[in-house]
Amino acid sequence: MRLIDAKHHKLLILTMGTLTRIAACHASPVFLSAKDTTAKAISLIQVAASNEANLIVFPESYIPAFPIWSALRAPSENHDLFKRMAAESIYVDGDEVDSIRATAKQLGVLVSLGFSEKARYSSATLWNSNIIIGTDGEILVHHRKLMPTFYEKLTWAPGDGHGLRVADTKFGKVGTLICGENTNPLALYTMTAQGEQIHISSWPAIWPTRMPEGVLPTPSSEVTNGIGTNGKVLSSSVTRGVSYDNVAANRTRAAAHCFEAKCFGVLCAGYLGADAIEAATSGSNTPEIISQGLQRSSRGATMFLDTTGTLLPGFTIDAETSVKEQKDFLQESEGILYVDVNLDGCVEGKQYHDIAGGYQRLDVFELKVDRRRRQPALFE
């Protein structure tokens, strides 16, 4: 790995002009503790700001946790965990968000924060939400994930279009979509149509879709030499028991958007802590199987992409020596990954494909986006 010294960094600035430094926190929450996770988030913001970061990014549903138990446990086993999730989810105008807003204002940084949001009008309606906080501490964008994906529906309600916005800041035009939303071409185009220059995609630490290979034996009565009981040939992923490849899937989606929008990409994934595995297995009828399933699932990676969708190497900063070490991504250990981007890099590609401008047939295609915030009732 290449070391980036201060002389090289200064030369880079002179060559490229003014840079925006992005810090992506590849971090675990203090599982299902809003108070302690908020304190950890503030600590990470302080570290990143001390290393001259302008934009600091957190993973999906960082406060208080991502509900990984719903992937591998039966819904009938999840009631106690859902109660804890509801109790520890936070209000967008609550103390936890206020503390992070105050920190952003004090340090003059932008913060993108994923959290599980409570509804004021319900004891159990939750959303998978993300906010972008400005350098003045104000909330610039408040987004609720449009549609919970797969087993996430056991925890979160569908959001609305209110937060499909790009924050126009002095560090660039910043937008964010949550996890599977980065599969939705209309949502992605909505961000492109607002001149997005930095696209944040937030992800969980793991996202199991089946038990990993070796955790559960495949009954011979169900599969014989790759042939199912119905006589159909099964795919290799079914016969091998392969789960979702987080890294490949996430990077594919993010890279496609970066290429089409000519924007920089920030993929920020969570980290799976031991406390998450312990909590998700507690009270299960098959704790050993659940534990193995979580530990063997594909880990998400935190990385950066350039405006062509190509991997953009980042760097870590040693807390003691301040030496920068180049890293392509963070996956197996917690940390903060940094990158310096020059927003001028968003320009050249627009000569070829400005899909919301000169390369679009606005007379042929029309997209309408409803940004109304939905409420359960309108009282007059």
Residues involved in catalysis = 60, 145, 179
Q: How far is CA 227 from CA 210, 222, 232, in A?
A: 19, 8, 6
Q: What DSSP string describes 77-126?
A: G-HHHHHHHHHH-B-TTSHHHHHHHHHHHHHT-EEEEEEEEEPTT-SS-E
User: Which residue reads 């490949």 in tokens?
Assistant: 248
CA distance 274 to 354: 45
Instruction: Tell me how crowded residue 245 is: count the other CB atoms within 10 A of its CB.
Output: 14
CA distance 6 to 338: 15
CA distance 336 to 28: 12
**What residues contact residue 68 under an 8 Å CB cut-off, 6+ apart?**
204, 205, 206, 208, 272, 276, 280, 294
Please, what's the b/e burial string for 337-354 (b: 16 or more CB within 10 A of its CB; e: otherwise)?
bbbbbbbebbeebbeeee
User: Which residue reads 């993300």 in tokens?
Assistant: 130
Instruction: Tell me how crowded residue 359 is: count the other CB atoms within 10 A of its CB.
Output: 12
**What's the full length of the chain, in residues?**
380
CA distance 202 to 58: 7
CA distance 175 to 163: 10
Q: Is 54 helix (H, G, I), strand (E, B) or coil?
A: coil
CA distance 338 to 333: 15
CA distance 149 to 282: 24
